[in-house]
């Protein structure tokens, strides 16, 4: 099996592992609780493997295409947070559920977004160039967004030692290690080969992560079964709005079809598993956020199956466009 084939099937892989995890959690809850100790090292390795696939050393290249990058940043960090701000006011959801929704929807994806942009006839080169900047901007912007949308209660949570420790050990440290690994890969062939081999790891590692979360959070899933349907509707609605937002900004910034499709896939995909470490460190009353984030990732992946058919064929077809992809900056 090729890596691209594995990534094409990842939606069904995660669905199967979540179902397996729920079954194991119902049948053997005590045994699954013991497996929960493996979650943190798995998450750390998952994030490291994922970050090594992001061209962190090429961040300056992402700044060269100013029109595309401006559209990408405006959509991800201005328009989408503003829409979510309206959602906060409009929907009276419990704070833990709302925190999960905001944690996952505020942060644009930096991994499988590239795969889906490629499969959906987007511009994979521009997607790859954009990922390091997207990652750095979202890490800097997330605390401010959550403080603005959730208020002082969230600010107190963010200052907790557990959350700060998780942020440093599971986000900052893997990011720094990935940066050093990429630098070393430029000099040593063995490390370069190992880095390419790490590209196979995110799918199986994330499958194990969602299995453990499903197995250890069965009680939360059962308690939230009514609210989960509301969350699913929100996530489906988000996918629809994100697609049309991408098309609108592509038209506004006069982008060619391939770049506009890339906007759509960026706006529609979110950084769910990068947000999991933060959600997992929240106090007991806030653990519903974990279930919400896993739910979103599943809805998103199934939504991407629909995107791959709808976006290039109907929403943003190539026919009728005479504009070349190599446009001026």
DSSP 38-96: GHHHHHHHHHHHHHTTS-GGGHHHHTT-HHHHHHHHHIIIIIHHHHHHHHHHH----HH
Q: Is the dihedral of CA 274, 277, 283, 285 positive or negative?
A: positive
Evaluate if residue 63 carries a pLDDT over 80.
no
**pLDDT reported for residue 321:** 47
Using 50, 70 and 90 to split pLDDT, how confident is the model at 160? low
Evaluate if residue 94 carries a pLDDT over 90.
no
- For 161-220, the pLDDT digits (tens) are 767 787 788 888 998 999 999 999 999 999 999 999 999 998 999 999 989 988 888 888
User: Which residues are within 8 A (CB) of 72 and not within 5 positions of it... i.e. 6 or more apart?
Assistant: 130, 134, 263, 266
Specify the residue for token string 């094409």. 8
User: Which residues are within 8 A (CB) of 127 and not within 5 positions of it... i.e. 6 or more apart?
Assistant: 113, 114, 117, 118, 262, 265, 266
How many other β-carbons are positioned within 10 Å of the β-carbon of residue 224?
Answer: 22
**pLDDT reported for residue 154:** 65
- For 289-311, the pLDDT digits (tens) are 889 998 998 899 889 989 999 99
CA distance linking residue 309 with residue 302, whole number of Å: 12
Cβ burial of 78 (10 Å; 0-12, 13-18, 19+) is exposed
**pLDDT reported for residue 323:** 46
Q: How high does pLDDT run on average in the chain?
A: 87
What are the structural domain ranges in the chain? 3-313
**pLDDT reported for residue 319:** 64
Q: CATH assignment of 3-313, given 1.20.120.430, 1.10.3720.10, 3.40.190.10, 1.20.1530.20?
A: 1.20.1530.20
Q: What is the chain's length?
A: 329
Using 50, 70 and 90 to split pLDDT, how confident is the model at 159? low
**pLDDT reported for residue 153:** 66
CA distance linking residue 239 with residue 235, whole number of Å: 6
Lowest mean pLDDT among 31-35, 78-82, 225-229, 298-302: 31-35
- For 254-273, the pLDDT digits (tens) are 999 999 999 999 999 999 87
- pTM for this one? 0.86
- For 4-44, the pLDDT digits (tens) are 778 778 888 988 999 999 999 999 888 787 777 888 899 89
Using 50, 70 and 90 to split pLDDT, how confident is the model at 328? very low
**pLDDT reported for residue 329:** 43
CA distance linking residue 271 with residue 106, whole number of Å: 8
């Amino acid at each position: 099996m090729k890596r691209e084939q594995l990534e094409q099937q990842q939606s069904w892989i995660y669905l199967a592992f979540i179902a397996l995890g729920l079954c194991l959690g119902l049948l053997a809850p005590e045994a699954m609780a013991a497996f929960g100790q493996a979650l943190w090292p798995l998450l750390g390795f998952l994030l490291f493997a994922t970050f090594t696939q992001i061209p962190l050393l090429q961040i300056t290249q992402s700044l060269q295409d100013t029109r595309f990058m401006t559209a990408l940043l405006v959509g991800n960090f201005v328009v989408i947070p503003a829409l979510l701000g309206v959602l906060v006011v409009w929907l009276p959801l419990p704070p833990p559920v709302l925190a999960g929704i905001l944690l996952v929807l505020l942060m644009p994806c930096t991994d499988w977004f590239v795969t889906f942009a490629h499969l959906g006839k987007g511009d994979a080169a521009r997607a790859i160039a954009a990922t390091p900047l997207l990652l750095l901007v979202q890490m800097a912007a997330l605390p401010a967004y959550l403080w603005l949308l959730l208020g002082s209660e969230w600010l107190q949570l963010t200052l907790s030692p557990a959350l700060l420790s998780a942020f440093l050990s599971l986000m900052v440290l893997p990011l720094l290690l990935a940066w050093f690994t990429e630098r070393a890969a430029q000099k040593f062939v063995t490390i370069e080969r190992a880095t390419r081999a790490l590209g196979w790891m995110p799918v199986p590692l994330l499958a194990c992560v969602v299995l453990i979360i499903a197995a250890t959070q069965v009680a939360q899933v059962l308690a939230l079964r009514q609210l989960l349907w509301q969350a699913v509707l929100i996530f489906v609605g988000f996918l629809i709005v994100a697609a049309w937002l991408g098309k609108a900004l592509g038209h506004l910034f006069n982008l060619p079809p391939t770049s506009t499709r890339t906007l759509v896939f960026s706006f529609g995909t979110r950084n769910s598993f990068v947000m999991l470490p933060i959600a997992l460190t929240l106090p007991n009353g806030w653990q519903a956020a974990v279930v919400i984030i896993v739910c979103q990732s599943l809805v998103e992946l199934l939504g991407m199956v629909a995107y791959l058919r709808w976006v290039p064929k109907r929403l943003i077809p190539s026919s009728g466009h005479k504009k070349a992809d190599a446009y001026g900056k």
